[in-house]
Amino acid sequence: MTTDNYISRYISIDQNGILLNGDIIYRADGKSGAELLIDAFKTSGISYPKFYKMDNLSKLAFLAAELLLADQGLRERYKAEETAVILSCANSSLDTDLRFWESVESGAPSPSLFVYTLPNVMLGEICIRWGIKGENTCFVSERFDVAMQTDYVDSLLATGCAEVVLSGRADYLNGQMEAFFMLVEKNPTSLDIHNPLTVQKLYDRQWKN
Amino acid sequence: MEELMKTLKVQIVEQLNLQQIKPEDIGDDQPLFVEGLALDSIDALELIVLLQQKYGIKLAKPEDGPQIFKTVRNIAQYITDHRAK
């Protein structure tokens, strides 16, 4: 017997702006990807100086997690070990890899760029911020493999490896970006059941469509 | 020395992406690590790169780093001492 899990909140970020549960909470108004991330971060009133040191992929994922998890009482409701983060991306850390390579070519390799030359660093930034110690996995796939990722998250919840999962996708390359994060819980906190059809529907419901 | 410290503060803010800090807010004798600006080990590496890039100075003894990078004044003094050599 399978037990349903629920998408309690979801967020989308792309060049057009930010949607939280499908509602517009920030408009890009022509800002570039990097400008949008910094402006949206400042607008949100979040105080976290390290944000400015992150690469663009981590900034994107961090901002999505901040806005998604705000006021959700995650730390109060779940133990650090029972909270998992499962993300995927298309271009891995290529955006930063290229910038790091430029710094190598210039004769002065940048340490602060080097530490972001792995895609799973974005998960680390989220976990540090939210004190998360559960499973962390980052898949790299050209397209969002909704069926696989949905099944993976449901398996974590069904086997007790996690009680709550921050799941989704974040990708950044040359100013083009997309993030789609969901908070998946066992408790029926919304009408959106966590299954491939619903996830695909919510993922497709972005500004670009 | 005063002019060098002023320039260094601008370069530190730029190199370390300290976008919430204005160069003039950094004190000459303010601790840069742990307390003060709360810089970390990656920032220390960036400061080493900054010395190499902007001043052509390579840190001869890495173990001297904590003392050299303790404050802007210490960095300026180190640059002054080693640039002339």
Is residue A91 over pLDDT 50? yes
Say how many C-beta atoms besides its own lie within 10 A of residue B60's C-beta. 7
| ipTM > 0.90 (yes/no) | no
Say how many C-beta atoms besides its own lie within 10 A of residue A9's C-beta. 21
Report, as an integer, the average pLDDT of B12-16. 91
pLDDT digits (tens, 9 = 90+) for A50-72: 898 899 999 999 999 999 999 99
Tokens of A174: 């040359």
Confidence at residue A209, expressed as pLDDT on a 0 to 100 scale: 46
> Which residues 14-43 on chain B approach chain A with CB closer than 8 angstroms?
16-20, 38, 42-43
Place of tokens 């949100």: A44
Going by pLDDT thresholds of 50, 70 and 90, the confidence category of residue A73 is: very high
pLDDT digits (tens, 9 = 90+) for B64-82: 888 999 999 999 999 999 8
Place of tokens 């497709």: A204
Q: Which residues of chain B make contact with A125, given a CB cutoff of 8 A?
A: none
- B21 CB contacts (<8 Å, ≥6 apart)? B13, B37
CATH number of A6-204: 3.40.47.10
Q: Which CATH number fits domain B2-83: 3.40.50.620, 2.130.10.10, 3.40.190.10, 1.10.1200.10?
A: 1.10.1200.10
pLDDT digits (tens, 9 = 90+) for A27-46: 999 899 999 999 999 999 99
Tokens of A173: 């390359």
Nearest to B20 among A52, A109, A112 (CB): A52
Q: Which residues of chain A make contact with B17, given a CB cutoff of 8 A?
A: 52-53, 112
Confidence at residue A194, expressed as pLDDT on a 0 to 100 scale: 96
Going by pLDDT thresholds of 50, 70 and 90, the confidence category of residue B84 is: low
Domain boundaries, chain B: 2-83
CA distances from B24 to A141, B13, B37, B54 (A): 46, 10, 13, 20
Nearest to A111 among B18, B19, B49 (CB): B49
User: How many angstroms away from the CA of A57 is the closest CA of chain B?
Assistant: 16
Whole-prediction pTM: 0.89
Q: Identify the weakest region by mean pLDDT among B9-18, B21-30, B55-64, B69-78.
A: B55-64
User: How many angstroms away from the CA of B19 is the closest CA of chain A?
Assistant: 7
Place of tokens 């601008």: B10
